[in-house]
Amino acid sequence: MKAKIMIKSIDLFDEKGFTETSIQDIVDSIDATKGTFYYYFTSKQELLRDIHLTYIHNLLKEQAEIINDSSKNVKEKLYTMIYSIINKIETQGKYARIIFREMRHLDDANLEQIKQKRKEFRLNFEKLIQEGVDKGEFQSQVRTDILSFAILGMVNRTYYWFQPDGELSEEELTDLYMEMILNGIN
């Protein structure tokens, strides 16, 4: 039931916005009562925090699996990390949009917790790029923190324009990003 509330809320928040969605709207959409809602969450804000945390935990778990895959070199790991973000657009695009848009509705303690997780996610990119530099797979003189911000900015933005069912596949897009990241346009 907890998962069901979260999934339906994502739909409602995406359509109407967080502020405009009431707890009554949420329970009506799953034929439940407010009592059920308050059994799982103390407030709408706690629900929003849990949506954020679930999303980020899943991303971090997947990242850890990629990092620990000893069959891949750094370039292959970077490819897989980027692909795993693009690959989620179809199923989890709503999640990502809500996360960016409704962040400010979290209170300071919740926001801090989520910012830490997001930072961890970005730092995993930075560490991977640094590993590539250390091993001689990458030659760039650009600071690895800036590279991680740049790559994540580029890849995350995909959520706003890419049509997963369009003429370009998720694999092809990842290839193009990798070509640009590795070789530039010069």
- Using CB under 8 A, list all residues that contact a copy of itself: 17, 19-20, 100-101, 104-105, 129, 132, 138-143, 146-147, 149-158, 161, 168, 173, 176-177, 179-186
Separate counts of helices (H) and strands (E) for the chain: 9, 0
Shortest separation between residue 100's beta carbon and a copy of itself, angstroms: 7
d(CA 24, CA 13): 13
Shortest separation between residue 159's beta carbon and a copy of itself, angstroms: 10
Angle at 96 between CA 34 and CA 30, to 5 degrees: 25
Shortest separation between residue 91's beta carbon and a copy of itself, angstroms: 21
By beta-carbon proximity to a copy of itself, the closer residue of 65 and 179 is 179
Shortest separation between residue 8's beta carbon and a copy of itself, angstroms: 19
By beta-carbon proximity to a copy of itself, the closer residue of 26 and 155 is 155
By beta-carbon proximity to a copy of itself, the closer residue of 1 and 123 is 123
Q: Which of 184, 8, 13 is nearest to 98 (CA)?
A: 13
Which two structure tokens, joined as six digits, stand for 5?
Answer: 């509330």
- 11 and 94 in contact (C-beta within 8 Å)? yes
Which two structure tokens, joined as six digits, stand for 107?
Answer: 């209170």
By beta-carbon proximity to a copy of itself, the closer residue of 4 and 157 is 157
